[in-house]
Structure 1
Amino acid sequence: MSQSDSFIEEVTDEVRRDRLFALMKRYGWIAVLLVVLIVAGAAWNEWRKAQERASAQALGDALLNALEQGEPAERVAALQTVPTETPGQEAVAAMLEAGEAAEAGDTAAAADRLMSVADRGDLPQVYRDLARFKALGLSADAMSPEDRRAGYETLAAPGSGLRLLALEQIALTYIEAGETAEALDVLRGIRDDAEVTSGLRQRVTQLMVALGESPAGDDAAAGSE
């Protein structure tokens, strides 16, 4: 490398360093601010998580204390006084309250409490569906099979986590109404569903046998054609 080339390279490096220092003086505060924001964000996130854990633990302790009361009616009264901070916490407390009300024999109040959860638009769908499912189960004496069936049909839509259980209840409403053929159609659909669990398949099969159909009836019919 010639002397002139070496000199030019040194001057170029010096210019680059001067530009870098100038940029750091001009914009270095941005980098500092970013670091401060990242640290503050991480600290706030940890604080928020700690607050959520503390809130959940406090709710759990309050619910357990309420459930330790002697009589169902006393437990209902205690659960009504449990402080809640989020819609999800309110839903959990309400469903526990409904369970104790049902145990106390007040199924109408239990069903109403569950439906109040099911009708809340600020809750995740899983809470609302579970509350509606339990409310319909408690309303067997107050609702006709047709009305309960309509309620279960809303829970039997594709994608619902309670779809197959709702279909099972739909079949039971058909049985209650004396519509055996319709019940068997629904039961076959449950039995052949790819998502059916072994326990549900066993219950469905037992129902089909009780209704006079062999579990292998469809296969035998297909083989005779």
Structure 2
Amino acid sequence: MSDTDSFIDEVSEEVRRDKLYTVMRRYGWIAAVAVVAVVGGAAYNEWRKASEQSAAQAFGDAILAAEGIEDPQERIAALQGVAGAGEQSAVLNLLVASDAADVSTDALMKIASDASLPDHFRHLAALRVAQMQDEAVSLDEVRSMLAPVLVAGAPYRVLGEEALALAELRAGDKEAAVSRLQALLVDDEASGALRRRATQLIVALGGTPEAS
């Protein structure tokens, strides 16, 4: 290679280096911002996870402390004083509702009608309302309460079937109640405990449980 070619190569390399430095000076801040954004985003994500975990732990600790109070009224007051939003609020209302009959229906119906909550909370609340009813409530009203719970694939469907069977029995429709209980004995989603309850009730009503 001649001295001329070597000189041209050196000049070309210098030109490329100058162009690279120029580009870096002009656009290097973008790379710096990107790095800061990535690092900052990761740090914020870790902080958010830690904050959520801490808040969840505090919520759980508050509930455990409230549930440890022996006096019913003080326990309810403590539960109602626990701060919670969204699903946490639903959990609190379910706990309060299961603890005091005088406020249970309102608290449960609030959950059951809250479209912002996941179905498993709403269905559980509706199921609990239906289970609390007595002869003063018509069978059609109980069916209406349980309508969303009894949909195929719903998380508490079999418990809803049991609640409806009991409502049918209260309404004097023994045949429908026994038929529904018999169906639960062969329902794959029914737990062993539920099948035992259904069996005992069928026998108490004078029927013969079908083989599961």
Normalised by the length of structure 1, the TM-score is: 0.75
8 A Cα contact 1:153 1:167, kept in partner: no
1:114 Cα deviation from its structure 2 partner: 1.5
CA-based RMSD of the aligned residues comes to 3.0
The letter of the residue matching 2:92 is A
Paired residues for 1:182-197 under 5 Å = 182-197=176-191
Match of 2:39 in 1: 39
The letter of the residue matching 1:91 is A
Match of 1:94 in 2: 93
Separation in structure 1 between the aligned mates of residue 117 and residue 77 of structure 2, nearest angstrom: 24
Q: How many residues align?
A: 208
Fraction of identical pairs, as percent: 41
Secondary structure at 1:159's aligned position in 2? coil
Separation in structure 1 between the aligned mates of residue 70 and residue 197 of structure 2, nearest angstrom: 35
Match of 2:63 in 1: 63
Separation in structure 1 between the aligned mates of residue 185 and residue 151 of structure 2, nearest angstrom: 17
Separation in structure 1 between the aligned mates of residue 119 and residue 127 of structure 2, nearest angstrom: 12
8 A Cα contact 1:209 1:215, kept in partner: no
Separation in structure 2 between the aligned mates of residue 178 and residue 156 of structure 1, nearest angstrom: 21
For residue 207 of structure 1, the aligned residue among 195, 201, 211 is: 201
> For residues 74 and 189 of structure 1, do their structure 2 counterparts lie closer, same or farther at Cα, with a shift above 3 Å needed?
same
List runs of 5+ in structure 2 lacking aligned partners.
Answer: none
1:163 Cα deviation from its structure 2 partner: 0.9
8 A Cα contact 1:171 1:182, kept in partner: yes
> For residues 190 and 27 of structure 1, do their structure 2 counterparts lie closer, same or farther at Cα, with a shift above 3 Å needed?
farther
Match of 1:51 in 2: 51
1:156 Cα deviation from its structure 2 partner: 0.7
8 A Cα contact 2:87 2:117, kept in partner: yes
> For residues 11 and 129 of structure 1, do their structure 2 counterparts lie closer, same or farther at Cα, with a shift above 3 Å needed?
farther
8 A Cα contact 2:181 2:198, kept in partner: yes
Paired residues for 1:149-188 under 5 Å = 149-188=143-182
Residues 64-102 of structure 1: CA deviation (Å, up to 9, x unaligned): 3333333111212222222x142222222222222221x
List runs of 5+ in structure 1 lacking aligned partners.
Answer: 102-106, 218-225
> For residues 21 and 174 of structure 1, do their structure 2 counterparts lie closer, same or farther at Cα, with a shift above 3 Å needed?
same
